[in-house]
A = this chain, B = another copy of it.
Amino acid sequence: MSFNDYESDFAYRDKSIYHALFNLHSQNIKTKKKIFAVNNLEKIIKATFKVSSRIGFHEMSLRDLCRETELSMGGFYSCIASKDVIAIMIKDMVKLVSGEIVNNALRQNDKKQAINDIIAHSIYATDILQPWFYFLYFETRSLPRDEQESSKEIELLIVTTLENLLMETYRDKNKNQHHYHFIATMALAMIQERYLKPWKYKDTDMSIEIYVAETIKMVYLAAGTDH
């Protein structure tokens, strides 16, 4: 599936992700008027990405945020309960999307296709939602302590799913016990590499499809080789 096809079917693009966010987090949003909330949520989240990617979430003051969103402090607090909630909302959104990628991939019977889908769709989705995934990676420590575990589980889910699929597909007594775990780790590292260092890929001619193809090729090369 090409990136363009994936993107046009993707459920969390543009405005729609803020509707999903409102539905997911209505208990943390003071106003129940969806039209106001969604509009302000979009401003707040986008400004958070802009400012915190430069200086970090904690360093970003609410005054910075209000300058960027052109909201007043009152306008901000009438929408969102506290600064912490911004980070929690982003974490929950990323978790939702990641979970759907894994579930959709596992729904089919062909295990190799499931491996391909997890890798390709993860790279596609993290490209479309790059600021969301980037934020969560670097700001996990900004979350309240009881939310931090929830953040680590996201990446653990992808690694263990991949590892299991590889083992089921290639199970081979000649491979040592770490072999498939190492490959799954490498695959995740390559998925993260792209959304964590976007400046490397912005003006490059290495298209996202080539990046996906190289990653998948590397995985099968490693998995299919004697140890």
Contact = CB atoms under 8 A, between A and B. Distances in A.
Interface of A: 54-56, 58-59, 138, 141-142, 176, 178-179, 181-182, 185-186, 189-190, 192-193, 206, 210-211, 214, 218, 221-222, 225
A222 B190 CA distance: 14
A218 B214 contact: no
21 contacts: A55-B141, A58-B59, A59-B141, A138-B141, A178-B206, A178-B214, A179-B214, A181-B206, A182-B206, A182-B211, A182-B214, A185-B190, A186-B190, A186-B218, A189-B189, A189-B192, A189-B193, A218-B218, A218-B222, A221-B222, A221-B225
A202 B192 CA distance: 22
Secondary structure at the A interface, as helix, strand, loop or mixed, is helix
Contact of A141 (B56, B214, B221): B56
A151 B150 CA distance: 30
Contacts of A190: 185-186, 189
Contact of A58 (B58, B206, B214): B58
A148 to B, nearest CB: 10
A58 B186 CA distance: 31
Contact of A210 (B58, B142, B178, B221): B178
A142 to B, nearest CB: 7
A155 B182 CA distance: 22
Given A176-B210, A185-B193, A186-B193, 13 more contacts: A56-B141, A58-B59, A59-B141, A59-B142, A178-B214, A181-B206, A186-B186, A189-B189, A189-B192, A189-B193, A218-B222, A221-B222, A221-B225
Instruction: Point out which of A185, A206, A222, A225 has the most chain B C-beta atoms below 10 A from its C-beta.
Output: A185
Nearest to A138: B138
